[in-house]
Structure 1
Amino acid sequence: MICTRCNRQMPDDSTVCPHCGQPVVSSEQVMKEIKVRRLQRYLFYTVVVLIVIAAVAIMVRIYNNNTKLVLEISQVKQSLEGAQGELTAAQTELEQKKQDLAKIQAELAESARKMQSADSQLKEKTTAYQNLLTEKTALEQTSEQCRMNLNLADANIYGLIVKLGTGVTNKNLMSIPLADANLGGEDSDDDGLSDTIERSLGSDPNKADTDGDGYDDKVEWLRGYNPLGEGMLPINPQYVNTVKGKILLQIEGDKSAWYVAGDGKRYYLGNPGDAYAVMRQNEYWTKDWPGYAPPLMSTSEETMATE
């Protein structure tokens, strides 16, 4: 028998190794111990395998959890990146809003300045308008006074015309040629003679050709033809010479006033208020008229007259 401790030979019936003192174990005990050791080894391996399996399972679970966590972290990171982008966009938009707000504030300030300027201009224009109203009132008063003065002057002129005028019949008046001047006014028949003049002349104010001979009344009057019938007008040069420079007042019809100028033609004075101006501006004004006053001459004209 060999000692299990010192590996020396010893008697088979020994209970203790004579060499090292190791108790001798029987084969049954050895087998039993071997079985126990094998069982322990199996249990150990089983436990190790279970531990490894558990560790692998735990690692797999941890890996899965880590993968899920990594995925969640990735998603969170993406969300954070998206939120960061949105935050950047929001900041950019906020900055743009600030710029827009600053622009609006500047526009409001400019509008306020313009409103103040417009208000000042409105006040100035209101003041100017009030001044104009005051001036208008003053002008209206002056105009009314002038109108009254003109009416008074018209009355005086009319009185002067009546005082200086010479009565004349329509027959004698037709013997004086008609001047082509001061004939305008309301003309119902469009023959070139106003209705007022036609009534004074005796022609029809509603017919351009009173006698129906194919010639308008004005053409016949100015050319010396009788617009009221056949033949020529009874022009009397001798009578014309006697009335040059005089005012003639019709004693028939609407009693119009006429002025016979130096050219031997009669000029319609129309409204008595305009009569003096018509005569005074007429180039045939003559000193034969009692109210004659020679026109003023310029210095050059006086020099030529003296020479």
Structure 2
Amino acid sequence: MRSLSYKRVFDRSLLGSVIAHYKSLASISAQIKIAYREYVLKKGSPSIIPIEIDTVQRAEFENAYSNKPIGAGLSWISELYINGLNSCPFCGGDGARTIEHYLPQASYPEFSVYSLNLLPSCGSCNSKRNSLNAHGAATSPLHPYFDKHILNKLNAYTVVSLDCGVIGFYLSYDHSPFTEEEQFRIDYHMEISLDETSYINRTLDSLETLRISSEKYSTPMEFRTEVIDDQIYISERKKDYNSWHHALCKGLANLSDDELQIIFGDSFGARASAPSLGRLRNLTP
């Protein structure tokens, strides 16, 4: 979960090329321009009243997004897939390999090829939200462009529980910087975006990677300094804020040395006492 920097696309200028290519849209060009302006003024709110369009115009919008023709000036949409994001800006999960319509096409076809409405996300959280942000929705998820004031203060972390010797996880965040209204939006965003199964599996995978790293260190203190703190630093230097791996490392950093000993105790120092792979190869006849 993180904010994104907007790569400027001059949508109003490109609209002429879109209309020249999809001529049925010419009769509503003025309404589209007004809708684009309202999107900015209302920050993508689902309270925006959709344009009234016919079935032909709806199909044209769908074709424009699906085909992304160069002649209509829409080839830039394909570039959104190549974004260098290691985690989804909406949920913090791996990658951002799909393009999401923040206001869904079903409710708002006029924003089908509007750059501010097209955002990289992962497939699972995109599907999970589906049409929950349709026209009339009472609350909307955080917008990576318009909600920077919230997202840039958001400090999400994984709460690691040790009940009855069983490790459990859930995603939380530091509530202190936010008003009640902002907390409500964050909670809603996490509820409709987070795929619990994907989150648990990815967190378990990260934990296993960290467990293997812990084999090099004799004590929780060493492991905390050399691995956990370093992983937090790397994530933040990469601007991979609030990814699930970043959240897990922050959660582990909140634990005491005794709690880290419970989680990783059998692994500490294991690599020092075991023969290295190179030594094993040398012993092979």
User: TM bucket by the smaller chain?
Assistant: under 0.3
Identify which of structures 1 and 2 has the higher relative contact order when contacts are C-alpha pairs closer than 8 Å and 6+ apart: 2
Structure that is richer in helix per residue: 1
In the superposition, the TM-score normalised over structure 1's length comes to 0.21
Normalised TM-score (structure 2): 0.22
| Larger-gyration structure (1/2) | 1
